[in-house]
Every structure is written in C-alpha cells, then in structure tokens.
Amino acid sequence: MKLDVNVLRYLSKDDFRVLTAVEMGMRNHEIVPCELIDRIARLKHGGTYKVLKNLLKHKLVHHDSSKYDGFRLTYLGYDFLAIKTLVNRGIFSGVGRQLGVGKESDIFEVVKEDGTVLAMKLHRLGRVSFRAVKSKRDYLRHRSNYNWLYLSRLAALKEFAFMKALEEHGFSVPQAVDCNRHCVIMSLVPGYPLVQVKELQNPDVVFETIIGAVIRLAEHGLIHCDFNEFNIMIDDDEKVTMIDFPQMVSVSHPNAQMYFDRDVECIYKFFAKRFNMSFEENENNSDGSEVEIDEIGRPQFSEINKNSGFLDKELAASGFTRKDQAELEKLIEGDLEKHSDSDDEGTGDDEDEEDEADINNTNVKQLESLHLAKEDDNHQVGEEPDPQDEGEGETESEDDPELEKSLSKQRRKAIQAAHRGKKNFASRNTYKDKGGKSSQSSKVHKQLSGW
Ligand code: ADP
Ligand code: MG
C-alpha cells in the first residue's frame, strides 16, 4: 500500500467527516464501534456504512469484528487527516518523494504553492518501540487515550517544540514550520546523513563541530540520546545539521550520564572507523569549549556546566509541557535503553504488521499537487469541536468535560446498540475504567522525573 495522495483529491467531505469521526472515537476506543462512528459523524443523509466501505477500500481504516463491529484508523488514514489539515492551512500543496524511512517515521518531500520544498516527518511511534510500549500495557490499560495515535502525536509535538527551541538558541537544526497530529513540517536539510558520507575534506573540523554540539546541548540541559551518524546531516560544504529529537532527555534524567556517554561514544567510534581518526593524538586539541578533556580526549559529563530548564519557556510556548515529556519518557524508556545504531532495524509485532506493510512500501509519485478544496476545512462533525481546527489534538477529551460527557453518552448508547444480545462483552474503555484511568495517570505523573 502506497501513500497515494491522489486518493486525497477524490475523498469527499463525507469521507473526511467519517474518517474524523473514527479518529475522535479512538480517543476512547481502540476499535470504534460502527454505531458510535455513525453518531459522531451525523451525516445529513445517512450512509456512514457506505462511506466506511470506501475508506476501507483505500485502507484508511481497518475493520475489526472480533469483539464487535468496529473500525480503527490506519497510519494512512491518520496521515491523510494530518496532510489535509496542513494543506488547508496553506503549509504545503503537494507531496513528493520519500526522503527516508527512519526507525519510527517516514519522511517525505512536500512542496509549497511557490515551489519551496520542505520536509514532512510522519511519526510512527510504535513501529520499533511497540514492544517496549506493549510491555507497559498494564500501566496503560486504563488510559483511554492510549494508542499509537496519541504516542505518535506526542512525539511529533515534542520534536516540533525542541526543533523550534534549539533553533532559537542557535543550534544547527532544521527550521520548524508547523505540526499537526503526528506530522512535523520542517525545512529540507541539504546533503545526506553522515552514514552515507564516505569522505570528508576536514574530518577533524566536522568531528569537533559535532562533539561541540553534544556539549552545547548538555550546557542547555539536554541530551540527544540518539546522536549518531543517522541523525547528523552534512552538506557539500560540510555544514552539520542535527535532526531527530523525539527521544531527547534532560540532563537531570536518572540515566543522563549514560545517555551522554553513549552519544559521545557513537561519534568517536564512527569517526575512528569511517575516517580513521585516532583520538589519542588529539589529546591536547581543544574543541573550543571549556570542557576538560580526559586522557583519551573525551568530554566528561560531570565537567559540563549544565543549565537545565534553559529551554523551558520555548518548549512551553510550542505547547509541549513537562507533563508531556514525562509521559513520553515513561512510555518509550524501554526503547531508549536499547543502543540504537541502525535506522533500519526490523519491526516485528504482529499487531502492526498490516500497517507496517502499508508504510514500508510507500512509494509516492513526484510532487503530486493536492488541490484540496478549502471549504472542506469548515465541516462540523456531530456537535463536537471541529477536529480540523488549529489546536486539534492538543486537547485530550478528558480535558474537555463537555466533549467527554457527550462522547461517553454516545459510546454507551452505541455499545448497547452494537452489542444488543451479545453476552459477556467487556470493553477496555468502559466507565469503570475511567476512574482507574485518572487515578492511574495522576499517580504516574507524580512519580515522573523532571526534564
Ligand atoms: P527517525 O526518527 O525515524 O530516525 P529521522 O528524523 O532521523 O527519523 O529521519 C530519517 C531520515 O530522513 C534521515 O536519516 C534523513 O535521511 C531524512 N530526513 C529527516 N529529516 C530531514 C530533513 N529535514 N531534510 C532532509 N532529510 C531529512
Ligand atoms: Mg533518525
């Protein structure tokens, strides 16, 4: 299954209305009962089922009737919602070739009306770390907002917030343009990931720039945590740009020292192997910072004057809170522990195989222009706030008592209708769970470390 943006053009207002209804239902359901979709979408002339069939045909939703008749969004469905929102905002107007398949993302070129090419990163949290996430299911079971949409959206928001903050502090990162759902739009970085570079004119300079960036990050209170040859871009003038921020942690993280040393080790190892650099000879070289160098020339975490909280204001301005960071850290920490040295690791979770197949075979036509009708932006779904609006996704339903109440009522009715006559049906998202959910989440928040 490819990301055929052509399909986007042929999707009607009703298609998007129903797709959005599935998305809204997923705030409380892993699989959204058909009845609930119908009630949220409130199509004027009915026909939700016909629309669902069309969405299914285009693999925008997945049908599941194992427990009851319902649907969930696929990655592609979620992609389409984000892409449509961003196109309607005028951020870009066409999608081009795929730039990269990361561990937890797909990156595409997108083009603006004026021809400027940008990069679009679609987060796929769960592709690799799904096992880690899965192992936390006990913790997550009572959380109505648990699913890959939530995690991917949080990762995207984090990446966007960090990119913006780092840019404002003079770091060489892509320019953050916009963010919606699991999708981040940023400037296109010229050049290639360092892993593809076989030769450098000035490996010493590049090396020092990179190690200097690791140190400066720590001085700003941050550790990249995945700082390696896959996440460093280098252009023809050997200018270095760092990318990929969803896993960053604070220098006050309990494992900060380990993450810092690991980032440094990755760079040393790579430069030694790829560019035959010998670090013993560099013993007396200064890298320009005030950090002391030990006998093998490495910056020491303990010697860095770390200023945590440096970027707080900027991050908060993008809507990414400490709570979000704590949440994300908690959920992906298993993945962080794992040393990551390859961007094309296998996946390997049956549950997501279908979606993974979808995204791995993505093959996009060159710069398809989407020409979406602007009017589509204004549609209303049920009585809920317009999910296409700015700020959508930034608010969980539990933060909106009205929405939660209305969804709960609809859910109860829908489940009753959908399961009339079915015995022993137990949803993961019944009312009983709700108390558990909030008590569980507040308990967890209290335990979480700052960043
Ligand atoms: P992941 O988190 O999945 O590892 P990355 O952000 O590292 O994703 O991106 C994966 C690949 O996509 C990168 O190695 C790079 O080749 C390409 N890429 C990412 N962002 C950009 C960008 N802004 N400009 C150009 N290429 C990019
Ligand atoms: Mg990466």
Which comes out higher in pLDDT, residue 166 or 10?
166
Question: Averaging pLDDT over each range in 63-72, 421-430, 436-445, which range is the top one?
Answer: 63-72
Please indicate whether residue 182, judged by its CB atom, sits closer than 6 Å to ligand 1: no
Specify the pLDDT at position 230: 94
The average pLDDT across 168-177 equals 96
pLDDT band at residue 431 under the 50/70/90 scheme: very low
Beta-sheet strands, E only, within 181-297: 183-187, 192-193, 222-223, 232-234, 240-242, 249-250
Q: 246 C-alpha vs ligand 2 centroid, how far in Å? A: 9
Q: Taking the CB of residue 136, how many other CB atoms lie within 10 A of it?
A: 16
Pocket test for ligand 1, best of 110, 117, 244 (most atoms within 8 A of CB): 244
Residue holding tokens 């760079």? Answer: 267
334 C-beta closer than 6 A to ligand 1: no
Distance between CA atoms of 344 and 322, rounded to whole angstroms?
A: 30
pLDDT in tens, 16-72: 999 999 999 998 888 999 999 999 999 988 899 999 999 999 999 999 999 999 999
Question: Ligand 2 is a single-atom ion; what residues have CB below 5 A from it?
Answer: 102, 230-231, 244
Over 60: is that where the pLDDT of 417 sits? Answer: no
- Tokens matching residue 227: 């700082």
Q: How far is the CA of 346 from the centre of ligand 1 (A)?
A: 17
76-87 pLDDT, tens digit each:
999 999 999 999
pTM for the model stands at 0.74
Ligand with the closest atom to the CA of 228: 2
- Mutate-to-test residue for ligand 1 from 120, 121, 125, highest number of ligand atoms within 8 A of CB: 121
Instruction: Identify the three-state secondary structure at position 422.
Output: coil
Positions marked active-site: 226
Task: Determine which residue's CA is closest to atom 6 belonging to ligand 1.
Answer: 244
The pLDDT value recorded for residue 416 is 54
DSSP class of 371: -
Ligand 1, atom 17: nearest CA belongs to which residue?
A: 100
